[in-house]
Amino acid sequence: MSAEGPPDPADEPGIPHTGRPVHWLAGSHRWQSLIAALVAAGAAVVVAIISRPPAPTPPTPTAPPTVADATAGTRVTTLIARQYADPSATPAGVAVYFEGTVSGLDPRWTVVAFVRRANERSGWPVAFAEVDRHRGTWKATVQVPRPRLPLEMAAGVAPYPGDRVQATPEGATPSASPHPTDPATLQGLLEEIRRDGPEAHGVEILTPFRPVPTATP
């Protein structure tokens, strides 16, 4: 009687009979591990994106103030006005002297005084005022060459070039409006206002035109 050999692999319990070695289980485990790693990496990216703080919003640039912004709340009054002969305002000129009050004046603006000749709408006589911002007062003298009577007057505000705001030591009284550092800039602005009058850029008339009283100083 011959000895029996080892059982056929197909007869071993739990192993199906395929006729060749079974390696697919090992490959399946490798694919499952790879997929799990990819899923974990994707989840980490999503968490990082969600956790990242939002980018800061860039600041909105501040627009320069408009004439309406600068003159809102500004009040200008004329308390004294008189005209008198002025030999320096040739030919046959007069001068008009103004005094008044001002409040709510933007530091980048100043008071401007206008004179209007009768039946004339060009070549405006005009002058920047000396403004005491601490006291809230102003004064100006406008030379009027070739006057055509009756003259009319008005006051308003206009942008003022140069270093208009000076540091004031604590306890000291602020001085009147400082003169600009660039006379050419000031002269150019005056020429524009003389040419265009109340229609000049940045000018705002704050008192109505009215006749200038005739008087001597």
For 190-201, write each residue's pLDDT tens digit: 899 999 999 998
| Domain layout of the chain by residue ranges | 67-162+180-211
Which CATH number is associated with domain 67-162+180-211? 2.60.40
What pLDDT, on a 0 to 100 scale, did the predictor assign at position 179? 46
What is the Cα–Cα distance from 34 to 55, expressed in whole angstroms? 34
| Number of other CB atoms surrounding residue 91 within 10 Å | 7
Q: Is the pLDDT of residue 6 over 70?
A: no
pLDDT in tens, 154-187: 999 998 875 433 334 444 444 444 444 467 777 8
With 0.75 as the threshold, say if the pTM is over it: no
Largest Cα span, the chain: 159
| Number of other CB atoms surrounding residue 50 within 10 Å | 7
Strands (E), the chain: 75-85, 94-103, 109-116, 126-128, 130-132, 137-144, 152-159, 204-205, 210-211
Q: Is the pLDDT of residue 100 over 90?
A: yes
State how far the alpha carbon of 41 is from the alpha carbons of 34, 36, 51, in Å.
11, 9, 15
